[in-house]
Amino acid sequence: MTTPTQAAPKTIYDKIWDAHVVDTSEDGTCLLYIDRHLVHEVTSPQAFEGLRMTGRTVRAPQKTIAVPDHNVPTTEGRDIRIDNEESRIQVDALDKNARDFKINYYPVSDIRQGIVHIVGPEQGWTLPGMTVVCGDSHTATHGAFGALAHGIGTSEVEHVLATQTLIQKKSKNMKVEITGRLRPGVTAKDITLSVIGETGTAGGTGYVIEYCGEAIRELSMEGRMTVCNMAIEGGARAGLIAPDETTFAYVMGRPHAPKGAQWEAALAWWKTLFTDEGAHFDKVVTLRGEDIAPVVTWGTSPEDVLPITANVPALTDFTGGKVEAVQRALDYMGLTPGQKLTDIQIDTVFIGSCTNGRIEDLRAAAAILKGKKIAVKRAMVVPGSGLVRAQAEEEGLAKIFLDAGFEWRLAGCSMCLAMNPDQLAPGERCAATSNRNFEGRQGRGGRTHLMSPAMAAAAAITGHLTDVREMMAEPAEAI
Amino acid sequence: MDKFTTLTGIAAPMPLVNIDTDMIIPKQFLKTIKRSGLGVNLFDEMRYNQDGTEKPDFILNQPAYRSAEIIVAGDNFGCGSSREHAPWALLDFGIRCVISTSFADIFFSNCFKNGILPVVLPQEAVDALMEDAKKGANARITVDLASQTVTGTDGTTYGFEVDAFKKHCLLNGLDDIGLTLEKVTAIDRFEGQAAQSRPWV
Ligand code: SF4
């Protein structure tokens, strides 16, 4: 290590980390201050129970934000009654805990309710330079704002509730650079899946990733959230993107964003949040934006990624422990090596989740679907929040989905993890815009192919995995 | 939290790579508001048929491994979600130690909060211990946290690294929150300063 001098160049991760260290132990373990703590119904009940048992309180209720999302049905009437008893108990427990501990809360009856990682940014709770945690691995999403955001377990949820800090060791710095520009039909989802295809699901373990490069800079905030969201699927503790004018424009005017003089002060600090020239990265991965194609997953790990033009791989393409995993994945997915990906028939299409449940995602899917009908058994759109849903209705997107034959649901996690009634049946094959294709993720025996919203829309129309670029070639579909 | 000092027990071999938290404890069991009782559903979809009967070839259903206390696993064990239900389920089943070449970050830290020791060893050592584990009930592996060693059935000893603070907490069964609250003046001071420098937070 070089001796730290005042001018030692730092990464953005180093800067945010340094600004939040409360205490450092001899062995380098730090106590890190947490600016925002997001809470949902599944990973928090035991933490609140722990507080009650020890007579502790929530240290900073004004920095704690709760919303039910994982378990909630996405059909009408859920604010009156949730049929599944266990789900109802969890949601009721969150209602009660929010009330008892006086934390910010968006119940299912509130139009602002939605997936925790969509609500946080939407309401301006997530801001550049912050430390953000949540008992949920996709907390990485908030890194899109240049915040240090990561998932924690329930014991840590309790720790943050009680102390507003987290015991942490610093991760290493990793840079993922996407140079150049994306080609038409290629989206943020294709970037993030392609990176995982390149690094593997453990490639980021021990690192915090900074995504940079021209292709990243050109993404909207929605796209940046999609990229950072899946940092965890690459094993990284967090993923982040330095804030810029795109970020500031998104944040300005949000309900919990600073205003007036505080906005100016905040902005001045946010503008210092970038990686200094010459800062050290322990690992660097570079992809050319032009090389990225629309991709899909074929297996049961997010690293099982291939361009849509490819074929299902053979066992001989792999080595070591992965061979057994691939055999298992092929069996589970019901696929044959050599089969063209575009020949894979789809039963169901799911558009939603914290990866792709934002307004831009719905616009991208609707642009493909406009005037078309679905050729799959069922298709559903689950907007990421009540506000996304309302905006999509206002823009006429809901009508496009409904006319095409999609179900238009209320906000929640839904079929991303199928804890609510939205589940795949055994063997049912789904084109999904979510983030995990694990065995049983969307329902026991269900088969998941991950892809972008535009690709999922294309599959909905043809009934099989489809290269969205072919549909975009038609002049009527030009966006 | 229970202390972890030393453990000699049966180890179940699970060579599959990327065993994720959805496999360890599928989401339908996350609806509980308690920490206990998840052991019967550990590895539920791999362990049971749809009608609830056991799949006889799943490792933990085999007589030799029903009382396993250690798992020797393929790379990247515990990837996926942050659900602490995964270590709760392992613990409730009776697993106190998992040995692999690598673990997913959040799962790794969740283990320590629940008295489970995740041990990272190089590939050759994991391969050797995997062979030991396959010997079933006749073979016992010993894990000693104080000396940071794993001893295989033939007496070969493998040293492993463990974070000093985590080791201290696990050896003594210490509660993190209690330890952190001893630093409350430092937290107060930080909060006071931050209120000046970043009042919008
Ligand atoms: S949408 Fe899916 S990944 Fe995102 S928070 Fe909900 S369950 Fe988790």
Give bridge partners of residue A132 from the DSSP assignment. Answer: A36, A149
Q: Which of A156, A322, A332, A415 to mutate to test the interface with B (most CBs of B within 10 A)?
A: A156
Indicate which atom in ligand 1 lies nearest the CA of residue A419.
7
> pLDDT tens for residues B113-132?
999 999 999 999 999 999 99
**Which of B 106-165 lie inside 8 A of A, CB atoms?**
106, 109-110, 113-114, 163-165
Q: Does residue B75 belong to the interface with chain A, where contact is any CB pair within 8 Å?
A: yes
C-alpha torsion angle, residues B82, B66, B46, A356 (rounded to 10): 0
Per-residue pLDDT, averaged over B77-95, amounts to: 95
Architecture category of domain A14-170 in CATH: 2-Layer Sandwich (3.30)
End-to-end CA distance of chain B: 34
Residue B82 and residue A426: Cβ atoms within 8 Å? no
Residue in chain B closest to A132 (alpha carbons) equals B201
Compute the distance from residue B106 Cα to the ligand 1 centre, in Å.
16
Of B174, B172, B142, B146, residue with least CA distance to B156: B142
A212 is in an annotated binding site: no
Residue in chain B closest to A445 (alpha carbons) equals B45
Contacts of A93 in chain B (CB under 8 A): 33
> pLDDT tens for residues B141-189?
999 999 999 999 999 999 999 999 999 999 999 989 999 999 999 999 9
Q: Which of B28, B82, B161 to mutate to test the interface with A (most CBs of A within 10 A)?
A: B82
A353 lines ligand 1 (CB under 6 A): yes
User: What is the predicted pLDDT for the residue at A476?
Assistant: 43
Q: How far is B60 from chain A (nearest CA, A)?
A: 18
Q: Which of B1, B24, B28, B33 to mutate to test the interface with A (most CBs of A within 10 A)?
A: B33
A413 lines ligand 1 (CB under 6 A): yes
A229 lines ligand 1 (CB under 6 A): no
Compute the distance from residue A205 Cα to the ligand 1 centre, in Å.
20
Question: Secondary structure of chain A: what % helix, strand, coil (to 5)?
Answer: 40, 20, 45
Pocket test of ligand 1: the residue of A355, A413, A415, A450 to mutate, having most ligand atoms within 8 Å of its CB, is A413
Cα A193 from Cα A318, distance rounded (Å): 19
CB-based contact A293:A307 (threshold 8 Å) = yes
Phi and psi at A211, nearest 5°, equal -90, 130
Compute the distance from residue A263 Cα to the ligand 1 centre, in Å.
31
Indicate which atom in ligand 1 lies nearest the CA of residue A434.
2
A413 is in an annotated binding site: yes
Cα B149 from Cα A51, distance rounded (Å): 36
For chain A, where do the domains classified as CATH 3.30.499.10 start and end?
14-170, 299-470
User: What is the predicted pLDDT for the residue at A170?
Assistant: 96
User: Which whole-number Å values give the CA distances from B26 to A68, A72, A448, in the listed order?
Assistant: 19, 17, 16
Q: Say which residues have a Cβ less than 8 Å from residue B171's Cβ, sequence separation at least 6.
A: B3, B4, B5, B145, B146
Contacts of B17 in chain A (CB under 8 A): 320-322, 324-325
Compute the distance from residue A379 Cα to the ligand 1 centre, in Å.
18
Q: Which helix (H) or strand (E) holds B8?
A: strand B6-14
> In the structure encoding, which two tokens stand for residue A371, read together?
């005037």
A434 lines ligand 1 (CB under 6 A): yes
User: What is the predicted pLDDT for the residue at A479?
Assistant: 43
pLDDT confidence bin for B2, thresholds 50/70/90: confident
Residue B23 and residue A135: Cβ atoms within 8 Å? no
A131 lines ligand 1 (CB under 6 A): no
- pTM for this entry: 0.93
CB-based contact A446:A300 (threshold 8 Å) = no
Residue A89 and residue B28: Cβ atoms within 8 Å? no
User: What is the predicted pLDDT for the residue at A354?
Assistant: 98
- For CA atoms A330, A336, A339, A343, give the dihedral sign: negative
Compute the distance from residue B168 Cα to the ligand 1 centre, in Å.
34
CB-based contact A123:B52 (threshold 8 Å) = no
Q: Does residue B32 belong to the interface with chain A, where contact is any CB pair within 8 Å?
A: yes
Residue in chain B closest to A125 (alpha carbons) equals B201
Contacts of A301 in chain B (CB under 8 A): 18, 20
User: What is the predicted pLDDT for the residue at A413?
Assistant: 97
Cα A308 from Cα A295, distance rounded (Å): 5
Q: Number of A:B CB contacts under 8 A? A: 180
A30 is in an annotated binding site: no
A115 lines ligand 1 (CB under 6 A): yes
ipTM over 0.85: yes
List per-residue pLDDT tens for chain A, 479 residues long: 445 556 799 999 999 999 999 999 988 899 999 999 999 999 999 999 999 999 999 999 999 999 999 999 999 999 889 999 999 999 999 999 999 999 999 999 999 999 999 999 999 999 999 999 999 999 999 999 999 999 999 999 999 999 999 999 999 999 999 999 999 999 999 999 999 999 999 999 999 999 999 999 999 999 999 999 999 999 999 999 999 999 999 999 999 999 999 999 999 999 999 999 999 999 999 999 999 999 999 999 999 999 999 999 999 999 988 899 999 999 999 999 999 999 999 999 999 999 999 999 999 999 999 999 999 999 999 999 999 999 999 999 999 999 999 999 999 999 999 998 899 999 999 999 999 999 999 999 999 999 999 999 999 999 999 999 999 865 444 44
CB-based contact B56:B75 (threshold 8 Å) = no
Q: Does residue A140 belong to the interface with chain B, where contact is any CB pair within 8 Å?
A: no
Compute the distance from residue B33 Cα to the ligand 1 centre, in Å.
19
Give bridge partners of residue B151 from the DSSP assignment. Answer: B142, B157
Q: Which residue segments constitute the domains of chain B, with CATH numbers given?
A: 6-197 (3.20.19.10)
A419 lines ligand 1 (CB under 6 A): no
CATH code 3.30.499.10 for A299-470: yes
